[in-house]
Chains A and B, each alone.
Chain A
Amino acid sequence: MALVLTEEQSMLRDSARGLISDKAPVSHLRHLRDSKDPTGFSKELWHSFAEMGFAGLLVPEEFGGSGLGYVEAGVVMEEIGRTLMPSPFLATGVVAASALNRGGNAAQKSEYLPKIASGSLLAALAIDEGAKHRPLQTSLRAVRAGNGFKLSGAKALVVDGHVADLLIVAARTAGAAGEREGLTLFLVDSKAKGIAVERTVMVDAHNAARVEFANVEVNADSVLGEVDQAAGLLDSVLDIGRGAVASEMVGLSEEVFNRTVEYLKSRKQFGKLIGEFQALQHRAAELYIDIEITRAAVMKALQALDADVAKAASAVAVAKARAGTTSTRAVHEGVQMHGGMGMTDQFDIGFFMKRARVCEELFGDANYHTEQLARARGY
């Protein structure tokens, strides 16, 4: 498959870009932040997303979705990255939809997937527990009780956790932290007794929450996939999420870069446009090259996911690692080349720096994924 967008994918990009740049420029995020919006995103916009078929982009047609692939999801994520639009698309439309579609039984799929596609159900994956992304370190306990389980423990960085109707919770039903065996995924109603949600306002003004589980009772039907055997499903769902976040990071990096190059062409010092200085020209050129290479790596990963999620791990590790280092470089250069203006809250560039930092932590940072590649290659 060619590493360029098809005509259909380009049309999808154009329609996503049209909607997002029109309804959710960076000022949209700024407004949500400054007004301390309780939802953290625009419900109205999410309904437009659903109407345009984006909410159910990954949901199969039989469940009311568009049945498209991960390349298409990446196209939408990239546009989201350009304006930093807060949206349930990642947590609900990509991660939860994939988890349910890949791991769900017939009843679970027909209950939840149509609601995701219509935009009426929000979901969130609860995975991380410590400061860093370490999926196998999951230690939230799920103990058998009667016909079901009781969940106890805490989760951090649950994206959209405070607005989600449905939580997809990674728990340990057997074994010890660090082991692949003994992980189970549960579908848990966020209103269930014993759940305490604390919205954690993060540096990027996007949604995140800490969720505590105190003997939360769930029945056996709430298990997603197989008891004790969720590691494989979790790997797949996380890789899909990583590909999506990497796409957002490409969009974010390119937008920061474009704004910075425009600034180099308009700001004058020493009687010259600062873009005439070779020191800045070469740094801008290096950043451009970095972004182009990362864009290709991310496309490669998304195509690999579309071909076979189970075989895409190394391509995804490369993509997320590159997205991390490239976006970090892009936002640093963006602020530095904008000089004092880059340090002001009034200027948008800082929003990109903050979001890039969160995206870097989300589903594993560049170090994590570089390590994964080393292990996969056996050294």
Chain B
Amino acid sequence: MAESRTSDTESADLEQFRNKTRAWLEANCPPEMRKPATSDADVFWGGRNAKFSSEPQRVWFERMRDKGWTVPDWPKEYGGGGLSAAEHKVLRAEMAKMGARPPLSSFGIWMLGPALLKYGNDAQKKEHLPKIAAGEIRWCQGYSEPNAGSDLASLQTRAESDGDDFIINGQKIWTSYANYADWIFCLVRTDPTAKKHDGISFILFDMTSKGVSTKPILLISGYSPFCETFFDNVRVPKSHVVGQINRGWDVAKYLLQHERAMISGMGERGVGRPLGQIAADTVGTDALGRLDDAMLRGQIARFDVDEAALAACAERAVDLAKAGQAHPAFSSAMKYYGTELNKRRYEILMSAGGVDALEWESERSKQGARPRAWLRTKANSIEGGTSEVMLGIVAKRILDLPGA
């Protein structure tokens, strides 16, 4: 097959980029940062009150930030690395190869950033994107309400016009890390008379604003990653609305696609030790080196097949998007499968761990890390849209099946 000269040059350039990237990562990623984080405290989330849990964590973050590689594919003017899609894929592959963890975890990067890049005005992009890239501001997401879960568009938090400002009153729930966040991106009802999707606006404000309060929710895992968030006459300038007033649902949906893509990634974390080896620690192996529990071995092997296939599909989803061939609702398909798969992973881990995986408090069990993580995964198929909502979206938007 005759390849064109341009694509030859392109692939040579990409190979050069790969070599340079690999060398840079080798020289700059501390050894401690070349393995997965083992606890939430081990993850760097940035923000005004951020503290590094270790010196290597600080070094790794600062080096990556200075290169723009906390957000490698964002434009350089907003603190990004300005990488092309192909270069970004190379960087991700090289980081995965050495097990390098992300230098910064952030809802600003995963969710708000993409929405601002598409819907934000110049002033908003200049104000917020560089602070996200530099990990200066930690964001939280004000979407769900006590009576607006799967039916998100029925949300009731209201924003009433008062001159150049909105006055916001209401309550959000399941706000991840609201108690640590500096700013919130929030869905509010700006027109209570319009049809439910049409009266919503997407607005940004500081969590230290007068009238904002948070209350952590204790979950079955014993952790409190989510809060209830209350707004009592919170005054926010109208200039903080992203996109048009009353057109916030478009922004919300676009952001949800990114959120779902992020959550689906949980099912294909091919990092750390393979399940088959973890299981061998507790169930043992036979003379041929096979797991001494044939049924569990079969479960793990089927899981591994599906995990490898999902990883290929995630890669293809990115490539399709680059090629302009992606269906906008495909992230719902990935979210469904990725979260169900992650739940399967933890069911297998619990089964493999047996009695050892039941300890909740001991030092030996790292304060019950495994059962708590297992319980945490049960939320994967609820948060960001339940599995049932995802299947409904696929049925209607991709398959075009009839009915409400």
On A, residues with C-beta under 8 Å from B are 2-4, 8, 67-69, 261, 264-265, 272-273, 275-278, 281-282, 284-286, 288-289, 292-297, 299-300, 314-315, 317-319, 321-322, 369-371, 373-374, 377-379
B310 interface residue per 8 A CB criterion: yes
Which residue of B274, B323, B390 contacts A2 across the interface (Cβ within 8 Å)?
A: B323
Q: Give the 10 A-B residue pairs with the shortest CB-CB distance, closest first.
A: A379-B276, A276-B403, A281-B395, A297-B309, A3-B316, A296-B313, A285-B394, A374-B301, A300-B312, A296-B312
- Contact, CB under 8 Å: B304 / A3: no
Which of A68, A317, A321 counts the most B-chain CB atoms under 10 A from its CB? A321
A379 touching B320, Cβ below 8 Å: no
Nearest CB in chain A: distance from B17 CB, A = 15
On chain B, the residues within 8 Å of A277 by CB distance are 403
A377/B304 contact (C-beta < 8 A), A293-B310, A293-B313 known: yes
> With A265-B401, A275-B403 known to touch, is A379 a contact of B316 (CB < 8 Å)?
no
Is B16 an interface residue, CB under 8 A from the partner? no
Collect the chain B residues with CB atoms within 8 Å of residue A275's CB: 401-403
In the complex, which residues of chain A have a beta carbon less than 8 angstroms from the beta carbon of B337? Answer: 289, 293
| Cβ B388 vs Cβ A273 within 8 A | no
Q: Known contacts A297-B309, A377-B304, A378-B289; is A4 also within 8 Å of B395 by CB? A: no
Query: Which among B154-162, B188-196, B206-214, B290-298 touches the partner chain?
Result: B290-298
**Is B399's beta carbon under 8 Å from chain A?**
yes
Cα–Cα distance between A144 and B301 once the two chains are bound (Å): 42
Q: A300-B312, A373-B305, A379-B279 are in contact. Are A282 and B391 (CB under 8 A)?
A: yes
A373 partner residues in chain B, CB cutoff 8 A: 301, 304-305, 308
B1 is contacted by which of A68, A297, A322 (Cβ under 8 Å)? A68
Interface residue range, chain B:
35 or more
Q: Besides A67-B1, A282-B395, 16 other CB < 8 A contacts?
A: A4-B320, A8-B1, A68-B1, A273-B403, A282-B392, A284-B399, A285-B398, A289-B336, A292-B313, A322-B306, A370-B302, A377-B276, A379-B274, A379-B277, A379-B291, A379-B300
Q: Are B276 and A378 in contact (CB under 8 A)?
A: yes
How far apart sit A288 and B333, CA to CA, in the bound complex (Å)? 9
| Whole-angstrom CA separation of A284 from B396 in the bound complex | 11
Chain B residues whose CB sits within 8 angstroms of the CB of A272 once the complex forms: 403
- 23 pairs of residues in contact across A and B, judged by CB atoms under 8 Å: A4-B320, A4-B323, A265-B402, A273-B402, A275-B401, A281-B391, A281-B395, A282-B388, A285-B391, A285-B395, A285-B399, A286-B336, A289-B394, A294-B309, A295-B316, A296-B313, A370-B298, A373-B304, A374-B290, A374-B298, A374-B301, A378-B277, A379-B300
Q: Count chain B CB atoms within 10 A of each CB in A275, A284, A293, A294 and give the residue with the most.
A: A293
Min CB distance B163 to A, Å, is 46
- Give B333-364 interface residues, CB cut-off 8 Å to A: 333, 336-337
Cβ-closest chain A residue relative to B313:
A296
Q: Counting CB contacts under 8 A, is B33 at the interface?
A: no
Give the CA-CA distance A199 to B79 in the complex, in Å: 69
B209-251 interface bits toward A, Cβ cutoff 8 Å, 1 = contact, 0 = none: 0000000000000000000000000000000000000000000
Whole-angstrom distance between the Cβ of A287 and the nearest chain B Cβ: 10
Residue of B at shortest CB range from A304? Answer: B312
Q: How far is the CB of B50 from chain A (nearest CB, A)?
A: 37
A22 to chain B, nearest CB (A): 25
From A275, A289, A300, A373, residue with most partner B Cβ within 10 Å:
A289
A286-B305 Cα distance, complex, nearest whole Å? 17
CB nearest neighbor in A for B7: A6
Q: Which residues of A contact B26 (CB under 8 A)?
A: none
Q: Which of B285, B289, B290, B309 contacts A296 (CB 8 A)?
A: B309
B402 A374 Cβ-Cβ under 8 A: no
A191 CB → nearest B CB, Å: 37
Complex Cα spacing A292 to B325, Å: 14
Chain B interfacial positions (CB closer than 8 Å to A) = 1, 274, 276-277, 279-280, 285, 289-291, 297-298, 300-302, 304-306, 308-310, 312-313, 315-316, 319-320, 322-323, 325, 330, 333, 336-337, 388, 390-392, 394-396, 398-403
| Inter-chain contact B399/A3, CB cutoff 8 Å | no
In the bound complex, residues from chain B placing their C-beta under 8 Å from that of A264 are 401
Query: Complex Cα distance A370/B304, Å?
Result: 8
Contacts of A292 in B (CB 8 A): 313, 330, 333
Is there an interface contact between A379 and B280, defined as CB atoms closer than 8 Å? Answer: yes
Least Cβ–Cβ distance between B342 and chain A, in angstroms = 15
Bound-complex Cα distance A299 to B333 (A):
18
Compute how far the CA of A371 lies from the CA of B323 in the bound complex, rounded to whole angstroms: 36
Within the complex, the shortest CB–CB distance from A198 to chain B, in Å, comes to 36
- Chain A residue with Cβ nearest B319: A2
Residues of B within 8 A of A68 (CB): 1
Report whether B319 and A4 are in contact in the complex, using a CB–CB cutoff of 8 Å: yes
B290 x A379 contact (CB < 8 A): yes
In angstroms, Cα B319 to Cα A273, docked, is 36
- Distance (Å) between the CB of A364 and the closest chain B CB? 13
- Does the CB pair A297–B333 fall under 8 Å? no
Contacts of B403 in A (CB 8 A): 272-273, 275-277, 281
Q: How far is the CB of B142 from chain A (nearest CB, A)?
A: 29
Contacts of B289 in A (CB 8 A): 378-379
- Are B313 and A370 interface neighbours, CB within 8 A? no
**What A residues does B302 contact at CB under 8 A?**
370
Residues of B near A322 (CB, < 8 A) are: 305-306, 309
Q: Which residues of A contact B297 (CB under 8 A)?
A: 374, 379
Centre residue among B306, B323, B392, B395 by max chain A CB count within 10 A: B395
Alpha-carbon gap, A3 to B312, bound state (A): 8
Which A residues are in CB contact (< 8 Å) with B333? 285, 288-289, 292
Give the docked Cα–Cα distance between A378 and B290 (Å).
7
Chain B: CB-nearest residue to A321: B305
Q: How many whole Å from A224's CB to the nearest CB in chain B? A: 27
Q: Which of B1, B300, B330 has the most CB of A within 10 A?
A: B1
Q: Which residues of B contact A319 (CB under 8 A)?
A: 309
In the bound complex, what is the Cα–Cα distance between A292 and B306 (angstroms)?
12
Chain A CB within 10 A, most for which of B316, B323, B337: B316
Please, which residues of chain A bring their CB within 8 A of the CB of B402?
Answer: 265, 273, 275-276
B221, chain A: closest CB distance, angstroms: 28
Residues of A within 8 A of B290 (CB): 374, 379
Give the shortest distance, in Å, between B348 (CB) and chain A (any CB): 12
User: Taking CB as reference atom, which chain B residue is nearest A69?
Assistant: B1
